Structure 1
Amino acid sequence: MRWTLRISFLLLLAWAIFMVSPFVALYDLSKAVEARDVARITERVNFNALRASLARQILGEYLKTQDLGGLDQQAASQAGAATLNPVLEELITPQAVIDLLDDGQIAGAGGVPASPIRLDLGSIENAWRTFIASESQGFRAITIPLPVDAQKDSQFRVTMRLRGTTWRLTGIDLPAPLREELIKRAAAATK
């Protein structure tokens, strides 16, 4: 009986640690952003996955605004990806990620209002609301809306993915004003 209780307790403890670990990783990332520690940010961000996440959002919205004139959607996506490349190059650097996570704005966005992407665990209530609002995507990925108290159209949705024993930032769903700004940049790049 004792061994059953001990093993059950250890399994429960391991599960609790696993459930909290992406939030600890995001907190560590926010502290690295505050310290402007490029090395720690590079460890915590998967830049290729982040690039794909941003490209998918911007390209999808950009193609909705364009008249394709019978052009195949796949061909339009490939052409759009080529035109988006300069815009994405500006966003996928450690310094650009620091700027985005620090003040919630993209460099040169002209004051587009957004909230900073910070994991504020100032109280147990706020930590609990953040935990409840997060969406698990299996055992290896979780999406966390930040700030948790903001309206959905002004929230960032941060996706963390487990690789090995490290949770890394793999995606940021941008709020509507920032997406629109990037679509304007993409449209200007095509002209």
Structure 2
Amino acid sequence: MRWTVRIFVLLFLAWAIFMVSPFVALYDLAKAVERRDVSRIEERVNFPAVRVAVSRQVVGDYLHTPEGRAKLGDLDGRVATTAGAAAVNPVVEQLITAEALIDLLDDGWPQQVAAPAGAQASGKLPLEFGTVRDAVMLFFGSESNGFRSVAIPFPPEEAKDRQFRLTMRLSGTTWRLTGIELPRALREELIARVQKKDG
């Protein structure tokens, strides 16, 4: 009986550690952003995966704009997506570097890449673990995408269209950032930059 209880307790502890581990990794990333520690950020971020995730969002939105429809609307869906990605990639490449991610995640707006007139950063670090309440909101607001991936909304108290959704994925024994779903305002600004380049 004692062995059964011990095994159950050990399994429960292992499960609890596993459930908390992506949040610990995200906290480590937040501290690296705060310290502007480029080498640590490079360890915690899968840049090619993040670029693909951001490109898909911006291309999807771009194809729904009047300019995107006028330019690519007559093309087959796959071809239009590929052409849209070619237009969007130069802007996304600027956004998905260690330095640009620091700029993006320190206050929620990448001033070096997208600084529209009148745009205001949120004024607080999106990757902030201020209180136990914040941590609990993050945990319960997160969505598991299978055994090795979790999407975490930041800041947890913001409306959905003003949140970042950060996807952490287990690679070996390390959780890494593999996707960022951008808030609507930032996607719109990136599309405006794409259109400016095209114009």
Q: TM-score, normalised by structure 2?
A: 0.91
Residue 125 of structure 1 and its aligned partner are, at CA, apart by 2.1
Alpha-carbon distance in structure 2 between the residues aligned to 1:5 and 1:22 = 27
2:101 to 74, 97, 100: 97
Aligned pairs, how many? 190
Q: Determine the structure 2 residue equivalent to 1:34.
A: 34
Three-state SS of the structure 2 residue aligned to 1:32 is: helix
Q: Does 1:133 find its partner at 2:141?
A: yes
Asked whether the 8 Å contact 2:105–2:127 carries over to 1, the reply is yes
Alpha-carbon distance in structure 2 between the residues aligned to 1:101 and 1:84 = 21
Residue 92 of structure 1 and its aligned partner are, at CA, apart by 1.6
Q: Determine the structure 2 residue equivalent to 1:79.
A: 83
Specify every segment of 5 or more residues in structure 2 that has no aligned partner in the other structure, as ranges: none
1:156 to 161, 164, 178: 164
Specify every segment of 5 or more residues in structure 1 that has no aligned partner in the other structure, as ranges: none
Change in Cα spacing, 1:4 to 1:69, as seen in structure 2 (3 Å) is closer
Give the letter for the 1:179 counterpart: R
Residue 123 of structure 1 and its aligned partner are, at CA, apart by 2.6
Q: Determine the structure 2 residue equivalent to 1:118.
A: 127
Tell me which moved more, 3-12 or 181-190. 181-190
Give the letter for the 2:145 counterpart: Q
Alpha-carbon distance in structure 2 between the residues aligned to 1:35 and 1:126 = 21
Alpha-carbon distance in structure 2 between the residues aligned to 1:181 and 1:171 = 19
Alpha-carbon distance in structure 1 between the residues aligned to 2:133 and 2:160 = 19
Asked whether the 8 Å contact 1:112–1:177 carries over to 2, the reply is no
Tell me which moved more, 77-86 or 128-137. 77-86
2:115 to 109, 117, 122: 109
Asked whether the 8 Å contact 2:56–2:85 carries over to 1, the reply is no
Q: Determine the structure 2 residue equivalent to 1:18.
A: 18
Residue identity (%):
60
Q: Residues 11-70 of structure 1, C-alpha deviation per residue, up to 9 Å, x if partnerless?
A: 000000000000000000000001000000000000000000100000000011122342
Tell me which moved more, 110-119 or 166-175. 110-119
When the two chains are superposed, the root-mean-square deviation of aligned CA atoms in Å is 1.3
Q: Does 1:2 find its partner at 2:2?
A: yes
Give the letter for the 1:16 counterpart: A
Asked whether the 8 Å contact 2:166–2:179 carries over to 1, the reply is yes
Three-state SS of the structure 2 residue aligned to 1:145 is: strand
